[in-house]
Chains A and B, each alone.
Chain A
Amino acid sequence: SQKIEQNSEALNIQEGKTATLTCNYTNYSPAYLQWYRQDPGRGPVFLLLIRENEKEKRKERLKVTFDTTLKQSLFHITASQPADSATYLCALGNNDMRFGAGTRLTVKP
C-alpha cells in the first residue's frame, strides 16, 4: 500500500540553525510534491511545490529537494526563527493529494 512517512513527529532546534525535515514515500510515483505549514487550530498553508523532473527549489529561507530514486524529499529552513515553529506537512500529487502525518518543528530562542 502507499505510504508517506515524515521522519519524526517533533524536531527541536536552536534559533539560527538550519532545520531539515524528511519525507519518504513508498509504492508511489508522484508527479509532484508539495510542502505545507500548519499552525495550531488553522488550515494548512502552501509553501513550495517541486515537480518530479526538478531536483531542488528555493524560496527565501526555504529549500526543497526531490529525489525520485530514493523516494525522498528534504525540506530545509535556514537561519530558523521562533516564528518558524509549526507543523510541516508533505503532500504527494497525481490525481489527488496524499499527505504525511507532519513534523512539529519548535525553534527555541
Chain B
Amino acid sequence: NAGVTQTPKFQVLKTGQSMTLQCAQDMNHEYMSWYRQDPGMGLRLIHYSVGAGITDQGEVPNGYNVSRSTTEDFPLRLLSAAPSQTSVYFCASSPEYRVANEQFFGPGTRLTVL
C-alpha cells in the first residue's frame, strides 16, 4: 500500500491564480480530511469528507473547495490564491467516521503564494 499520497510536494503561485492539490489513499478509508499547518498554530481543519459524494466544512474553509467523487481521491481547490494561504497542507484519512481511529497523513504540500 502506498498509504496517503499528495502532489505536488512544493508549489509557488501568484496571487489570484488557481490550483488543485491532489490527495489519494489506497486503504479504502471512509473518512478523508484536509489540514493546513502554520507556525505556532498547529493543524487546522479545512474540509472533510465522510464518504464519496459527502463533504463538509472544517474550522477554516474560506477560499477552498473540495469534492469527493470516489473513495480514493479528495482534491483541494484554491479558486483565487491569496498570500494568507501560504502554508503546508496535509491530507489525512481514517477508516471510519465517528469511530475513534488513528488518522494517516500524507507527506504534505508546501504552498507559497506571492
Which residues does A use to contact B, with CB under 8 Å? Answer: 4, 9, 31-32, 34, 41-46, 49, 51, 89, 91, 93, 95-102
Contact = CB atoms under 8 A, between A and B. Distances in A.
6 contacts: A43-B90, A44-B90, A89-B42, A95-B98, A99-B43, A101-B41
Contacts, number: 53
Interface residues of B, number: 25
Contacts of B105: 43-45
Contacts of B103: 34, 44, 46, 91, 97
A102 B42 contact: yes
Nearest to B94: A97
Given A43-B90, A99-B42, 10 more contacts: A31-B100, A43-B108, A44-B103, A44-B105, A45-B105, A93-B100, A96-B33, A97-B103, A98-B45, A99-B35
Contact of B33 (A32, A51, A97): A97
B40 interface: yes
B64 interface: no
Contacts of A42: 107-108
Interface string B8-30: 00000000000000000000000
